[in-house]
Amino acid sequence: MIGALARMPSTLRTFGGSQVSNLVGLLIVAGALALTLQHVLQHSASFFFQILIIGIADGTIYGLIALGYTMVYGIIELINFAHGDVFTLGGYFSLALFPIFGIAEGKAGFGYVIPLLVVAAITMLLCGVVNVAIERVAYRPLRHAPRLAPLITAIGMSSILEGAMYLWRGPNSLHYPDLLPLTRFNIGPVNIGVKDLIVITFALVLVVVFTLFINLSKLGKAMRATAQDRDAAQLMGIDINRTISATFFIGAALAGAGGITWGLYISSVDPFLGFITGLIAFTAAVFGGIGNIPGAALGGLLIGLIRAFSDSYFDSSWTEVLIFGILIATLVFRPTGLLGMRVPEK
Amino acid sequence: MALLEVSGIDVFYGRVQAVRGASLTVDAGEVVALIGSNGAGKTTTLRTISGLLHPAGGKITFNGKDITRTEPQNIVHLGICQSPEGRRLFARMSVLDNLRMGAYTRKNAVEIKRDMERVFELFPRLKERSNQIAGTLSGGEQQMCAMGRALMAKPKLLMLDEPSLGLAPILVETIFNIVREINAQGTPVLLVEQNAHKALEVAHRGYVLETGVIVQTGTGKELLESEEVQRAYLGM
Ligand SMILES: Nc1ncnc2c1ncn2[C@@H]1O[C@H](COP(=O)(O)OP(=O)(O)O)[C@@H](O)[C@H]1O
Ligand SMILES: [Mg+2]
């Protein structure tokens, strides 16, 4: 699997998503949709909407994490396996910060909005710093080494972060305080929680702000330029080391925000949460088109929906098989993902 | 003191030496051609001047400042910008964004806007295509975009690596006319070309590079008339 990932860019060039595999893909998707529809019709509409909302909320969080995978891959062609653990770290950092800002369960209210946002900002900053440090010590010295080398150190960094969280707070799952209001209300057949709305809005706002930043800011353009042609970027006066650091920082900040959102939504975190969540988000990034930023957001949303529907209409024990089946199918049949690259590389 | 002074640089790829003790200078106001066949080391020389490669031996100074070990982004700040071999545009960005990336090191928005107008005057075609994605431009348009992008850095020395490569004859003519015009407006140019004839016509002076060694130098006219050059590079 690791070998396959290391070879991925060359696969990207050789496969193009042939007519036949496109057709087969369409048939499979159509079949899956028909089967899902059949199951959906056996249950109530309100159940359907509830699952839909869970899928969207999970999906936007996966999207937040997937953005970091895709950005880092885009700029240095490395799958940062530690990224999922930086996401978990967001949960752990924020848990440690809550008491400092007087935030505790059971007293939720509007007074918490500001402290919660402050905690989120500090957590994002800390996660960013950790990821920049990881790049500096574990990836940059290997930039000219064979591709497999940094991939292996990435797995090593992932274990180190998981081990550090394990030592810090122990092996058990930690309760994350319920800080969001539990009020629910109905719109027609749709029963929706204020919590769902807050989580989805928060994640969406971050994705939108981030997209604007990448497309409009000077640093964002430098990041895209470096991803598209590193030498040419240097010839335009871009400091690529700084740009790569910025990429790791921003990706990690988004993952950290994802960690908080996850904690608030699911109410628990554990040291190994990032392993599986990271793999799912990575799948989302590949599904949407690795290196492609809108693709990561879209892939996250779709994977979130697939997961929610598979969990509730089918059997949750098959969900991971399904998701990693999607990962493998994407790598084999359509390595550029759903959105791929808008223009072929030179 | 010359504007750019390359003295005796040795450049290696691993253990393979691509440039051997090459020396050349570019003075203010000049167009200097660096000619030689495929694999002679022309691109390697330009990449070394730009700081993408560092020489194992020798020295490079620009405006009297030693830039032998300077990082590429700082060399751009000092005023050397190149349009690299193969254009190397940011393929998924618009023409306008590519040009803006050229001005990455600059702050003054008014001056940048003025230079953008100047680039559009030199290459009216780019203005029509300013919102098109660079990867979808034709070869000639891509070359114009690459040259325009380098000009947006407002370089004190412009380096062009094979600007005419792969272009239709009529476009080759246009490109060389534009090189003349850029120089007439005051920018010194170091021009790397396999099209020796055209390059030497435009250049004040030239150097001939053969397997990493500078074997001949002189004014453009002298080189055009030299027997060796005629035999090896002009197909006479
Ligand atoms: N990245 C590289 N790695 C190893 N050798 C290289 C590399 N780039 C160029 N060379 C070698 O260096 C020599 C000079 O190449 P280059 O500077 O590209 O020549 P030119 O631009 O004159 O065609 C050639 O023999 C080429 O094979
Ligand atoms: Mg060359």
The pTM (predicted TM-score) of the whole model is 0.90
**Considering Cα of A217, then A218, then A220, then A225, what sign does the dihedral take?**
positive
Residues enclosing ligand 1, CB less than 6 A?
A: B 13, 16, 18, 36, 38-44
Contact A18, A332 (CB under 8 A): no
Residue nearest to atom 11 of ligand 1 (CA): B18
Average pLDDT, integer, range B179-190: 96
Residue A3 has pLDDT above 80, yes or no: no
Chain A residues with CB-CB distance to B72 below 8 A: 234-235, 237
Question: For A149-164, how does the pLDDT look when each residue is reduced to its tens digit (9 = 90+)?
Answer: 999 999 999 999 999 9
- Of A123-127, A338-342, B209-213, B216-220, the poorest mean pLDDT is in A338-342
Output the pLDDT for position A112.
Answer: 86
Residue nearest to atom 1 of ligand 1 (CA): B13
The percentage of chain A sitting over the pLDDT mark of 90, rounded to a whole number, equals 73
Of B73, B84, B105, the CB nearest to A232: B84
HSE at residue A178, side-chain half, CA atoms within 13 A, is: 7
What is the pLDDT confidence band of residue A24, given thresholds at 50, 70 and 90? confident
CA angle B49, B50, B55 (to 5 degrees): 50
d(CA B135, CA A239): 23
Adjacent-strand bridge partners of B96: none
Residue nearest to atom 4 of ligand 1 (CA): B13
CA distances (Å), B54 to each of A61, A155, A194, B39, B41, in order? 45, 33, 59, 18, 14
Which pairs with CB-CB distance under 8 Å and at least 24 residues apart come from B50-55?
A: B50/A234, B50/A235, B50/B75, B50/B80, B50/B82, B50/B159, B51/A234, B51/B75, B52/A231, B52/A234, B52/A235, B53/B11, B55/B9, B55/B10, B55/B11, B55/B19
Of B76, B88, B104, the CB nearest to A222: B104
- Of A72-86, A99-113, A268-282, B47-61, the poorest mean pLDDT is in A99-113
What is the pLDDT confidence band of residue A2, given thresholds at 50, 70 and 90? low
Average pLDDT, integer, range A39-63: 93
CB atoms A228 and B92 under 8 Å: yes
Structure tokens at A65: 């994490």
Residue A15 has pLDDT above 50, yes or no: no
Chain B residues with CB-CB distance to A342 below 8 A: 92, 133
Contact A138, A153 (CB under 8 A): yes
Structure tokens at A261: 């959102």
Structure tokens at A52: 């839909």
Instruction: Name residue, tokens 């574990």.
Output: A138
Q: Where are the beta strands (DSSP E) in B3-155?
A: 4-13, 16-26, 31-35, 57-62, 65-66, 80-83
- Compute the radius of gyration of chain B from its Cα atoms: 17
Burial profile A216-237: b = 16 or more Cβ within 10 angstroms, e = fewer: eeeebbbbbbbbbbbebbbbbb
CB atoms A225 and B90 under 8 Å: yes
Q: What is the mean pLDDT of chain B?
A: 95
Residue A22 has pLDDT above 80, yes or no: no
Output the pLDDT for position A13.
Answer: 40
Output the pLDDT for position B45.
Answer: 98
Q: What is the mean pLDDT of chain A?
A: 90
Question: What ipTM is given for this predicted complex?
Answer: 0.94
Residue B49 has pLDDT above 90, yes or no: yes
d(CA A91, CA A204): 19
Instruction: Name residue, tokens 């305080």.
Output: A177
Closest ligand to Cα B12: 1
Chain B residues with CB-CB distance to A215 below 8 A: none
Output the pLDDT for position A14.
Answer: 40
Residue A16 has pLDDT above 60, yes or no: no
Output the pLDDT for position A5.
Answer: 54
Average pLDDT, integer, range A160-180: 95
Output the pLDDT for position A10.
Answer: 43
Interface test with A, best of B53, B92, B100, B161 (most A CBs within 10 A): B92
Structure tokens at A341: 């690259």
CB atoms A229 and B86 under 8 Å: no
CA A272 to chain centre: 15
Output the pLDDT for position A25.
Answer: 80
What is the pLDDT confidence band of residue A108, given thresholds at 50, 70 and 90? low
Instruction: Determine the straight-line distance between the first and last CA of chain B, rounded to whole angstroms.
Output: 37
Of B88, B91, B101, the CB nearest to A343: B91
The percentage of chain B sitting over the pLDDT mark of 90, rounded to a whole number, equals 94
Domains and CATH numbers, chain B: 4-79+155-233 (3.40.50.300), 92-154 (no CATH)
Instruction: Determine the straight-line distance between the first and last CA of chain A, rounded to whole angstroms.
Output: 28
What is the pLDDT confidence band of residue B79, given thresholds at 50, 70 and 90? very high
Query: Is B198 part of the contact surface with chain A (CB cutoff 8 Å)?
Result: no
Among B1, B52, B45, B56, CA closest to B26: B1
Residue nearest to atom 18 of ligand 1 (CA): B43
Closest ligand to Cα B162: 2
> Closest Cα of chain B to A190: distance in Å?
41
Question: For A176-212, how does the pLDDT look when each residue is reduced to its tens digit (9 = 90+)?
Answer: 999 998 899 998 888 899 999 999 999 999 999 999 9
CB contact residues (below 8 A), chain B span 118-137, against chain A: 133, 135-136
Which atom of ligand 1 approaches the CA of B44 most closely? 17
Chain A residues with CB-CB distance to B100 below 8 A: 221
d(CA B232, CA A69): 52
Domains and CATH numbers, chain A: 47-325 (1.10.3470)
Average pLDDT, integer, range A299-315: 94
Output the pLDDT for position A149.
Answer: 95
3-state SS string for A132-200: HHHHHHHHHHHCCCCCHHHHHHHHHHHHHHHHHHHHHHCCCCEECCCCCCCCEEEECCEEEEHHHHHHH
Residue A12 has pLDDT above 50, yes or no: no
CA B36 to ligand 2 center in whole angstroms: 9
